[in-house]
Structure formats: structure tokens, C-alpha cells
Structure 1
Amino acid sequence: MGDRYLVGIDLGGTAIKMGICTIDGQILGELERPTPKGSYVDVLKTFRTMVDELLQGLGLTKNQLTGIGVGVPAFLDVKKGFVYEIVNLGWKNVSLKEELEKLFQLPCYVDNDANTAALGEMWLGAGRGSNELICLTIGTGIGGGLILNGHIYHGAIGMAGEIGHLPVRPVGGRPCNCGGHGCLETETSASAMVYYAKEAATKPGRLKELSDKMGTITAKDVIELAKQGDPASIQILDQVSYYLGLSLAQLANVLNPQKIIIGGGVSKAGHFLLDRVRTHFIHFAIKKIGESTEIVTAELGNQAGWLGAARLVQQRLE
């Protein structure tokens, strides 16, 4: 093993995922712990405990660490590492970079968790060998990250990559928590699929039978029923695919990425979903862009966020 190591942390609303790797991405150790529900001070204490535990388990010392990167589900000032708000943790106005550097006496860097996941996929996942990427995670909501010239693109005020809030049905679309209507998130997320499945379950069919039996319907249920040929579930998946293909084509026509990476729970539908998305993408994209852009599923799963945060340290120091 080499002399210097990177620590990456992925802070989630329910869990903290952390790991140590070499500068070339060899994973040495990982940990996962529940996210404390107290103040940010409690979270920082958990960070310290986890780092100490990893170092001890690997026989390393803090002096062998190059730095620490953290991905957070927040709006923030990336340059200052200042978190404006993390809604699901109750954080407001936290100088996270400053607090981390006081705690660890090491260079520390902070970015949005969707950005660090995108960076992780570029470094060691589905985006290997590509410097121009669009990465989105489709789960309860939709997170997005843009990689341009091998680095996270933040935009003028650090909010680039809000792919989930592209308006795809501004007229007649459902309200979104961003204040808009008909955003991509309200039409293609797992939550959106459940919403439309519940609507369909008011009429006779497989979705109604499942709802009556289980009392609930999940996005996974919709995907499985669609694979079995259920017309109502196929219609929902076709609608999701249409809006995804349309939105990704709009982004690709502007950014001309090498790859578009789709992760999150909905991506587990695999080719059954991606083939539909590609059809619409090619229809709406400029011909050469449609032909040259790969649409692939993410590879790193829960490791993407912390690995991207670790990579962030190396890039910032360089």
C-alpha cells in the first residue's frame, strides 16, 4: 500500500457511508452508520468516530491521510463549504468545511451528494474513460450531476445539475416541491410512478388487485407488472420513458456528453426501461448526438457518493 490515502464521506438522511481508498481508487475499508438525528455537532462526532475506527482497523494513522471529502444533500456554497440548509436533517447555515478542518486538522472539501456520486461514477464506475457526463439518480426524487472536462460543473451560484426540476409538463403537471409544476421529478421518479399506479388502481386490473391485497404499491411493483405484460403498468413506464428521453435529449443537445448515467432504484428496471428511454432520446436529440451518446446504468451503487467525495479531495488539491 502507498503512503497517502483519501477519505470519502456520503452523508444521507438515514445513513452515513464512509470509506478509505488509495489515490488510484483501491478501496481499503468501508463503514456505514445511522445518521444521528441531533445537531450537526452530533454528526461531526460520528464522522470522527468512524474515521478513527477505519484507521485503527487498517493500522493507519491520521498523518497518512491526504484529506477528507464529504457529499451532502444540501444547497451550499461549494468554494467555502458553507451549507445553507439540509432539510431532512434540520441543518441551517453551517460552515461545514471550517468545522471539519478544525476537527481533523486536514484539508476538507464539501459538495452536493449528487455531484460526488457523478464524480465517483466517472472515476471508477460506468463513466470510466469519459470526461463529459450527465449523471442522474432516480429514486424518491431525482438528483443530478454534471461532469464537464473531468470536473464537477457547478454553475454561477453552485446549483447546476438540478435535472429533476426541468419542466416537462408545465401546463397540467402536478405541483413540485421546488414551486414549479410538471417537473421531471414529478413525472418520472419512483414517487411519480407510485402516484400514477394509485390512479390506475382505481380501475379493474393487476394494479388494483395488488393494491387491494397489499394495501400499497411500489415503483418496483409497477416495473415487475410491466415486465409481465400488464397494460396499465406498461403505460406508466412508457410515460416515464418518454419524459426521461425528452429531457435527456434536451440536455445532450446543449452539453454533448459522452455518456448519460442513470442510477437509483428505478434504474434497476435495466434494459426494459433504458431501451424505451433510448428510443425517445434518439427521436428528440440532434442526429449525431443521438448516435454518439451512450445511455448506461450506474455501476457503483452506494459506493458512488463516498468514492466521488474522496476523488474530490485529490482534484481540489491538484
Structure 2
Amino acid sequence: MRQFCFGVDVGGTTVKLGLFQPDGTLVEKWEIPTVTQNSGEQILPDIAASIQEKMDHHEIQKEQVLGIGLGVPGPVASDGIIYGAVNLGWGIFNIHKELSDLTGLKVKAGNDATIAALGEMWQGAGRGYKNVILATLGTGVGGGIIIDGQILSGFKGAAGEIGHMHVQDNEEEACSCGNFGCLEQYASATGIVRMANKILRTSDQNSVLRTDEEGISAKLVFDAVKKGDALAIEVAEIFGKYLGTAMANVANIADPEIILFGGGVSKAGEIILQYINKYYVLYAFQEAKNIPLAIATLGNDAGIYGGAKLIIN
């Protein structure tokens, strides 16, 4: 009897879903809208209906399905309790039970960045390693830590929140979490733009960043770095200093075999690694200095691969 599993990545705008075979073969992937109205009450029923539709289409019976693994933008404990997901409108509830009741299938869930790390370890840039750290550099900064092939989730599923490591004492602007001087304020796409605008206001040096009519983006900053723009390079140095130092601190604790960088900022490519590694090697413990730093390869599919692996594990 052929077996299958589903990987699901719940985002604020869309839910990505994948139908997998246990060997990692992706049979089909698709997306549905994330309906966040009314405290996101329709999200799980929509996922359940979409999965049932695919099962009907592929003539898959419930006994052939190992389960559903999903990543969500919030902390999830091992018993399935999710401790809120603000951008979905969710409060505290047992996501394992609710989705299982809707589908009649086994369900496992975890934080989206952690699940993405699991996906990269399984079928992405971390393939062949069992101890992996993934930093996701998007609108915010997320993180996932895999130890001996298993997710490090912590008491309430909040392990790996590297974006809210304190890295700067004198920050006057608050982070989205309410604290000051978090890594996310310097290493996320929004943080890069914030730093660039701050330097533009206090510097009179010429820069292509001053002439872009559509406004500054993280992509524009690193495109300018590739062209040798001095002001953009200054931003990249700050980005690299904070992120490299933070990852060295995480590595000193977790002792990984490889550190990966995903999310929208990572699309700038290998150039971000030279700025990160410059500071990483300064502060990493001797045994961790020479581990590889690499760009994640699964892109937006990392979450569905990780969800599937969560079930297969």
C-alpha cells in the first residue's frame, strides 16, 4: 500500500501545502488563501477541506496517510498547544486536536522557522547533516535549531527565537516584540531598510540609495553593495556585525555542523555570507569557527518539506 503525508506552511497571506511520499518525493504542491478574519477561525477548516480535495483527486484513502505536519507563525509546544499567532488572529489552543478532529488524520505542528530548518536538513542545503541552525531573514528574523536530527523546541515551543536576542544596548526604537536592541532590528529586511534610512539622514556621501524613486529595500541595498556603493557597504557591515556575532553566540551553545540563512534577504546570495562570516569567526568558539555558513536552497518550499518530515520522523 502506497503511503503519503502532507506538509503545510501557514503564512499570514497564503497557506502552502504539499503532498509527499515518505522518501521525500513531492507529488504536488499548491496554495490557498489565509483567511484571518474572525480571529482566523476559518484557517484550519480551509486546510482540512483542501487536503480532503487532494485526497479525493489522487484517490488516497485515510489509511494511506501518515499524517499532516504543519508550521505556524507562533510557538507550539510538543503537546500541540499553540501559544498564539498574532498575524493569524489565533490565541491559545490545541492545534493538533483541532486539525485532527477536522481531518481524522494524525497531526504534528511546530514553529514555522523551526519546521523550515527541519525541511532544509532533510532535502535542502542541510542535507547530510544532523545538527543544523537556520536563520530566516525576512520581514522579521526567525530561527530553527536541529540537534541530532530532532527539533529543539523548548518548553513552549519558542526555542530558536534568535531574532529577539539582545544585541545593542543603546537602541532607542522599540522592536516589534516591545524590547529594544533585538537582532531583528538590524538583520531583517525591515531592519536593513531602517539602518539605511538612518545613515542616509546623517551622512552626506553620494549613494545610489538616494536616487531610487521607489524607495529603499533590502534588495536594493545589497544590489548597491555588489556595485561597490560605500554607503550600502556601511549598512552591510552593520548587518554582518550583529548577525555574525549573534550566530556565533548561538553556535557556541548549540554546536552545529552547519548554519544556514534563508528568507527574502538571503536571495541576495553569497555576498551576505562574507559580511556575516567576518564577524562570526571573530566570536565563535574555536571548535565552531570553521563550520560552513551557507544559503538555504528550498526557498518558500522549506516549510512544506519540514512539515512532511515532522510526520515521517
Greater CA drift, 53-62 or 252-261: 53-62
> Could you tell me which residue of structure 2 aligns to residue 264 of structure 1?
263
**Structure 1: runs of 5 or more not aligned:** none
Name which of 296, 299, 306 aligns with 1:298. 296
Q: How big is the alpha-carbon RMSD for the aligned residues of Structure 1 and Structure 2?
A: 1.6
* Matched AA of 2:293: I
Residues 163 and 183, structure 2, Cα contact 8 Å, conserved in 1:
yes
Shift in Å, 1:173: 5.6
Q: CA deviation at 1:254?
A: 1.8
Q: In 2, distance between residues paired with 1:182 and 1:314?
A: 39
Cα distance in 1 for partners of 2:228, 2:59 equals 54
Tell me how far 1:222 sits from its aligned partner.
0.7
Q: Which amino acid aligns with 1:281?
A: Y
Residue identity matched to 1:206: S
Q: Show CA shifts across 1:47-105 (max 9, x none).
A: 122212322333323331111111110133x2221222111121112322111111111
Give the match's secondary structure for 2:143: strand
1:205 aligns with 2:206: yes
| Aligned equivalent of 1:84 | 83
Matched, 1:250 2:210: no
Match in the other structure for 2:108: 109
- Asked whether 1:74 is paired with 2:74, we answer yes
d(CA) in 2 for partners of 1:119, 1:208? 37
| 8 Å contact kept, 1:281–1:290 | yes
> Is contact 1:29-1:58 (8 Å) kept?
no
User: Secondary structure of 2:42's match?
Assistant: helix
Q: Which residue of 2 is the match for residue 149 of structure 1?
A: 148
Give, as a single letter, the amino acid of the residue that structure 1 aligns with 2:242.
Answer: Y
Distance of 2:169 and 2:3 partners within structure 1: 50
Out of 277, 287, 312, the position equivalent to 2:310 is 312
Query: Quick check: 1:30–1:54 contact (8 Å CA) kept in 2?
Result: no
Q: TM-score, normalised by structure 1?
A: 0.92
1:280 and 2:279 correspond:
yes
What letter matches 2:308 in structure 1?
A: A
The unaligned stretches of length 5 or more in structure 2 are none
Cα distance in 2 for residues equivalent to 1:83 and 1:41: 14
C-alpha displacement of 1:271: 1.7
CA distance in structure 2 between the partners assigned to 1:186 and 1:65 by the alignment: 42
SS at 2:244 equivalent: helix
Q: Is the 8 A contact 2:209 2:232 kept in 1?
A: no
CA distance in 2, matches of 1:98, 1:276: 44
Larger CA deviation: 3-12 vs 154-163: 154-163
Superimposed CA distance per residue, residues 232-251 of structure 1 (whole angstroms, 9 cap, x where no aligned partner): 10100111011111111111
CA contact (8 A) 2:48 2:99 kept: no
**Post-superposition offset of 1:18:** 0.3
User: Which SS does the other structure have where 1:243 is aligned?
Assistant: helix
Distance in 2, Cα, partners of 1:140 & 1:220: 12
- Residues 83, 156 of structure 2: 8 Å contact kept: no
Question: TM-score w.r.t. structure 2 length?
Answer: 0.94
Does 2:180 align with 1:181? yes
Checking the alignment, whether the CA contact within 8 Å between 2:209 and 2:224 is kept in structure 1 is no
Aligned partners of 1:113, 1:19: CA distance in 2, in Å?
Answer: 15
Q: Does 1:7 align with 2:2?
A: no
Q: Secondary structure at 1:75's aligned position in 2?
A: coil
Secondary structure at the counterpart of residue 178 of structure 1:
coil
Per the TM alignment, residue 35 of structure 1 is displaced from its structure 2 partner at its CA by: 0.6
- Counterpart of 2:109, as a letter, is V
Q: CA deviation at 1:207?
A: 4.5
